[in-house]
């Protein structure tokens, strides 16, 4: 890729300089540069996509730079060998409740922080956001021990404890993501028109009404953006699931990659298909909800 940049740039620049004015020559270089960069950035995923449709026997004979041997069999094999039905289901069981709980709890804190000027608001927000930035490994040891000690009834967890249970994972994800959401939501809520709440209070609306009927509906855009972001992040979460789950059949899809390495790294077409399958949910986010995702990441900074 980089060699292409070097060889192509001067020729286009020279040609453009002749044809147009100086200023546009610069823009041509700019276009060539960003186009090549963009293509280079897409390459690994496109390469995986291409190889996922190739037959292993065909490519091992003809090499990867060849045509033919197209098949869907890799996807079937990857799905079966990786037990993807179960792992996708696990991801769903963990991600959906975790995202809903995170958004609800974060909205609660944000509402209080934004609407009432308590003196400890900044402290509270600091406590929440800092929690979000700590390296998880620094908290692993006590948390792991505690999870082993906390019993759960068998109908909640077949391991009989918080370790190796969906509950444990949902809760740890919620605790970690709350801070960021609370911060973004509180900024969003502060910008809501104050008069609306005055009017509601004059009408005798209590805190629950102000929260559920007025604030939450108004926060819908922010909540949608954060939900997109959180679904992606919790789906992609690797560390906690790796250490807090014990039985292989309970791993969500991202941390199940740990166990697939041995099988997949020997057959690269299988590896490609498996990777694409794991990427599908986030690729949907990428293609369909990109605006929401970016808005979530940069929420607030665009308002200023």
Q: Which is nearer to other proteins, 75 or 180 (CB)?
A: 180
What is residue 111's three-state secondary structure?
helix
Helix (H) or strand (E) segment spanning residue 47? helix 22-52
CA separation, residue 106 to residues 2, 73, 123, 175, 222 (Å)? 45, 44, 15, 10, 12
Which of 4, 15, 19, 42 is the binder for other proteins (CB under 8 A)? Answer: 42
239 binds other proteins (CB under 8 A): yes
DSSP one-letter code for 215: I
17 touches 25 (CB < 8 A): yes
In 10 A of CB 228, how many CB atoms? Answer: 22
Q: Does 301 bind other proteins (CB under 8 A)?
A: yes
299 binds other proteins (CB under 8 A): yes
Taking CB under 8 A as the rule, does residue 68 contact other proteins?
Answer: no
**92 scored as a contact of other proteins (CB under 8 A):** no
- Determine which residue in the list 8, 31, 85, 151 makes contact with other proteins, applying CB under 8 A: 31
Q: What are residue 151's DSSP bridge partners?
A: 161
Backbone angles phi, psi at 65, to 5 degrees: -90, 75
Site residues for other proteins, 137-196, by CB under 8 A, read: 137-146, 171-172, 174-180, 182-184, 187, 190-191, 194
Q: Rule CB under 8 A: say whether 41 interacts with other proteins.
A: yes
Q: In this complex, which beta carbon is closest to other proteins, that of residue 138 or of residue 154?
A: 138
Count of positions on this chain that bind other proteins (CB under 8 A):
112
- From 73-81, 153-161, 213-221, 296-304, span contacting other proteins (CB under 8 A): 296-304
Q: Which of the residues 257 through 286 are near other proteins (CB under 8 A)? A: 257-258, 261, 264-265, 268, 271-272, 274-275, 278-279, 282-283, 285-286
Q: By CB under 8 A, tell whether 221 contacts other proteins.
A: no
Q: Positive or negative CA dihedral for 189, 192, 194, 199?
A: negative
Per CB under 8 A, 96 contacts other proteins:
no
Residue 154 has what DSSP assignment?
A: T
67's CB contacts (< 8 A; 6+ apart) are none
């Amino acid at each position: 890729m980089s060699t292409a940049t070097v060889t192509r740039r001067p020729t286009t620049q020279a040609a453009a300089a002749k044809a147009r004015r100086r200023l546009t020559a610069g823009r041509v270089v700019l276009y060539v540069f960003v186009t090549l960069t963009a293509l280079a950035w897409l390459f690994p995923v496109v390469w995986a996509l291409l190889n996922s449709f190739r037959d292993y026997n065909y490519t091992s004979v003809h090499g990867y730079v060849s045509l033919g041997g197209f098949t869907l069999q890799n996807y079937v094999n990857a799905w079966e060998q990786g037990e993807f039905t179960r792992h996708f289901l696990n991801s769903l069981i963990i991600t959906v409740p975790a995202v809903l709980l995170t958004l609800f709890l974060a909205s609660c804190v944000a509402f209080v922080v934004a609407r009432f000027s308590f003196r400890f608001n900044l402290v509270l927000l600091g406590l929440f956001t800092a929690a979000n930035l700590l390296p998880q490994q620094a908290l692993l040891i006590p948390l792991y021990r505690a999870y082993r000690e906390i019993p759960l009834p068998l109908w909640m967890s077949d391991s009989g404890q918080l370790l190796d249970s969906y509950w444990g994972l949902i809760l740890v994800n919620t605790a970690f993501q709350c801070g960021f959401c609370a911060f973004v939501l509180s900024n969003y809520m502060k910008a809501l028109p104050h008069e609306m709440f005055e009017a509601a209070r004059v009408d005798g609306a209590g805190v629950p009404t102000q929260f559920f009927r007025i604030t939450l509906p108004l926060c819908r855009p922010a909540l949608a953006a954060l939900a997109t972001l959180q679904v992606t992040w919790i789906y992609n979460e690797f560390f906690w699931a790796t250490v807090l789950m014990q039985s292989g059949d309970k791993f969500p899809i991202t941390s199940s990659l740990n166990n697939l390495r041995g099988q997949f790294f020997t057959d690269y077409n299988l590896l490609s298909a498996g990777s694409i399958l794991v990427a599908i949910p986030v690729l949907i986010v990428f293609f369909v909800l990109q605006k929401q995702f970016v808005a979530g990441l940069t929420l607030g900074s665009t308002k200023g």
